Homo-oligomer: A and B are copies of this chain.
C-alpha cells in the first residue's frame, strides 16, 4: 500500500483547520561558523513563544544532500514525493509566468541560441540577450500557425521563453518527446524526437513549429535559432481533496506557487498585491470556507538568492510581526511553520540543508524549546524527517485520520 493509498483510506470529515505557513527558502547558514543563521539572528518573539509550546524538527525536502527546485520542494511539502511525482520543466516554466495551463496543453521551455552558418550551436543562451530583445522576438514567433493546434509563445526572461501547444477540444497530444538541445557546442540542434508512438504526432507538430521559427529568427543574431526542452503536460497529480479529504486553498503572490498549488487541486485565492499583509487579509476573508491553507511568503527566498543576509533577517522579522500573530488570532487547530527548502544568503542559491519546522497543536508534546531556529529545531522531537510527512502529521494532529487496522 502506498502512503497516499493509506492516507486516502483513513481520512475522515472534521471541522478542524490547518495552516501551512511556508517561508520560501527559510533555512540558512551562519555567516561565520560560530555565528547565527538568518532565522537565528532574526528577532522573532512570536515564533519563539510559539516554539516553546510546539514540536520542532528539520524537514528534508527531497533526499539528504539534494537541493530542490521550487517545484519539487513544494510538491514535497504537499506530501507528494518529488521523485515519484514529476512536474515537467515545460509545465513549471509555464506556471512560473502565470500561464493558465489546460490539462491537454503541451508546454516546453524554450531557449534562444546562436548558430553558425553550418547550423552548429555556438552559444546555447544566445549571449543572454536582454529580456527586451526576447519580447521583440516572441510576437514574431506567435505568427507561426500549426494545423488544428492553438499555439502560445510567452517571454520568460533573457533567452528563455515558453511554448505551449493546445489541441482542439476533444483532441489529445502526448508529450514524451526528447529535448532538442544537444547540451554541447559545435553540433546542430537535435530534432524533437518522440520517445513513444503516442507522442509521434506532437513531435511532428513541434518540429514543424521549430522549422518555421528558425526561418523567422535567422537574421536576429545572436538569437538566430532556438531549442526546446522539458516538453510536458499537466501530470494529473492525485488531488488534495481525494488524497487528504481537505478543502484546500492557496495564498501566494508568485505565479509558480499559485500554479503548483493549482496542479494539486487547491483553490488559488486572490491576493490584493504582494505584501504579506494582503495575504493575511485573504486568509481572514476565506477562513470559514476551507480546511487547509497553504500560506506562502516569497521574499525570504529572494533575499537569500541575492546573498542579502540582513534583508532575509528583516523579512523573517516582518513575518513574525505581521503574519504569525494574525494567524494565531484565527486559532487554527494545527499550524505548521516551515520553508520549502533552504536558501542561505552565504550560498546565494537554494541548498540541500534541511528546513527548520515547527508544528503547533493542542495535541502536541511541546519540546519546551523557546526558540525557532535551525539549531533549536535540530534538538526537537520531530527529528530530521522527510518533508512529505508534514501533511500526514498535520492531518493526525487535526484529528482527521481514522485508526489503521483493529
> Does A10 belong to the interface (CB within 8 Å)?
yes
Q: Name the residue on B nearest A35 (C-beta).
A: B366
- Contact of A381 (CB < 8 Å), options: B65, B378, B396, B405: B378
Given contact pairs A3-B63, A347-B363, A69 touches B406 in the complex (Cβ within 8 A): yes
Inter-chain contacts of A182 with B (CB < 8 A): none
> Does A228 belong to the interface (CB within 8 Å)?
no
In angstroms, Cα B396 to Cα A6, docked, is: 31
A381 touches B6 (CB 8 A): no
A389 touches B93 (CB 8 A): no
> Does A380 belong to the interface (CB within 8 Å)?
yes
> Does A362 belong to the interface (CB within 8 Å)?
yes
Inter-chain contacts of A363 with B (CB < 8 A): 29, 344, 346-347, 351
In chain A between 359 and 406, which residues have their CB closer than 8 angstroms to a CB of chain B? 362-368, 374-375, 378-385, 389, 392-397, 401-406
* 1/0 contact string of A181-222 vs chain B (CB within 8 Å): 000000000000000000000000000000000000000000
A353 touches B365 (CB 8 A): yes
Inter-chain contacts of A135 with B (CB < 8 A): none
In angstroms, Cα B71 to Cα A222, docked, is: 56
A92 touches B34 (CB 8 A): no
In angstroms, Cα B351 to Cα A34, docked, is: 35
B83 touches A1 (CB 8 A): yes
B6 touches A83 (CB 8 A): yes
CB distance from A202 to the nearest CB of B (A): 21
A367 touches B375 (CB 8 A): yes
Given contact pairs A72-B404, A396-B67, A404-B82, A366 touches B34 in the complex (Cβ within 8 A): yes
Given contact pairs A83-B6, A368-B375, A53 touches B68 in the complex (Cβ within 8 A): no
> Does A62 belong to the interface (CB within 8 Å)?
yes
CB distance from A231 to the nearest CB of B (A): 14
CB distance from A12 to the nearest CB of B (A): 11
Which secondary structure characterizes the binding site on chain A? loop
Q: Name the residue on B nearest A54 (C-beta).
A: B33
In angstroms, Cα B389 to Cα A86, docked, is: 23
* 1/0 contact string of A81-116 vs chain B (CB within 8 Å): 011001101001100100000000000000000000
A380 touches B378 (CB 8 A): yes
Q: Indicate how many identical chains form the complex.
A: 2
Q: Name the residue on B nearest A75 (C-beta).
A: B405
In angstroms, Cα B405 to Cα A405, docked, is: 37
B406 touches A10 (CB 8 A): no
Q: Name the residue on B nearest A37 (C-beta).
A: B365
Inter-chain contacts of A10 with B (CB < 8 A): 66
In angstroms, Cα B62 to Cα A389, docked, is: 12
In angstroms, Cα B72 to Cα A394, docked, is: 22
In angstroms, Cα B35 to Cα A365, docked, is: 9
CB distance from A161 to the nearest CB of B (A): 15
B384 touches A64 (CB 8 A): no
In angstroms, Cα B362 to Cα A248, docked, is: 40
> Does A30 belong to the interface (CB within 8 Å)?
yes
> Does A249 belong to the interface (CB within 8 Å)?
no
With A66-B396, A66-B404, A67-B401 known, 17 other A-B pairs at CB within 8 A are: A33-B53, A62-B404, A65-B389, A65-B392, A65-B393, A65-B396, A65-B397, A69-B405, A71-B405, A72-B404, A86-B405, A87-B405, A89-B406, A352-B393, A367-B378, A382-B384, A384-B385
A-B contact pairs, 7 of them (CB 8 A): A58-B383, A66-B401, A66-B404, A86-B405, A89-B406, A350-B403, A352-B401
Closest 9 CB pairs of A and B: A378-B381, A65-B392, A65-B396, A383-B384, A69-B405, A72-B405, A352-B396, A64-B389, A69-B406
